[in-house]
Structure 1
Amino acid sequence: MKKFSLVLAGLGIAAAAVPAAAIAAPAPHFASYQGGWQNINARQAKLEARINQGIRSGSLTRAEAVRLRAQFRDLSRLEARYRASRPGLTLAERRDLDRRFDALSARIRFEKHDRQGYHGR
């Protein structure tokens, strides 16, 4: 009887741990990342660093940087609104943010490589 109750308690603990592990796991990111899913804060930091690097290297003009930063701020505000909403950040909202981050990343890449900011090359 003692062995049976011990097995039953172990199964109960395992059953409780599986949903918690599923909740803690990051949602898959469907963009073209080699390293898998990245959280929103990491993506924001990476995009901000790319804009700053483009300004320092001269591959972004001042006007391009101002426009990209405005789009970045708008995206940050949208994320804050999503997080403040009643259920918090849902999977659909996360996917929407991922899609928008992908679009902003593509715009940064385009603006950095359009050769408008390059001096004498």
Structure 2
Amino acid sequence: MKIHTLIAAIALTAGGAAFAQAPAAPVAAKDPLATPRIDQRQANQEKRIDQGIASGALTNKEATRLDKRETKIESDKLAAKSDGKVTKAERRKLNHEQNRASAAIKHQKHDAQTTAAK
């Protein structure tokens, strides 16, 4: 009987040791190409432009100019990702561009130029 107890104890110890050495799943593995904040801001700004067109607050010319600015930000984001890592400096530059684009959207939506709402 002692032998069965000894074998069971060894099996539990070995199993516990193997479990303890198993690598833990990464909590939040950081992808060097991930740009979730930039992506979300782009989506929000595009919605703001679309809403401005729908409400008539933006003329077609203003909307085209703002869309070109958003396209430039997307192009810069892809260029930043091209080397396999988006650095802090690249993120800072993209954030600055988005800040300026956001201010431009606000300015254009609240100026005196409007179109008739559809």
* Interval of TM-score (by shorter of Structure 1 and Structure 2): 0.5 to 0.7
Number of the residue aligned with 2:109: 112
After superposition, the CA RMSD in angstroms is 2.9
Structure 1: tracts of 5 or more residues without a match: 1-9, 25-37
Number of the residue aligned with 2:14: none
Number of the residue aligned with 1:100: 97
Number of the residue aligned with 1:49: 47
Moved over 2 A (4+): 20-24
Match of residue 76, structure 2, among 60, 78, 88: 78
Instruction: Tell which structure's C-alpha radius of gyration is larger.
Output: 2
Structure 2: tracts of 5 or more residues without a match: 1-19, 31-35
Alignment size in residue pairs: 103
Q: TM-score, normalised by structure 1?
A: 0.66
Distance 1:22 1:50 in 2: 31
Identity percentage of aligned residues: 38
Distance 2:71 2:115 in 1: 26
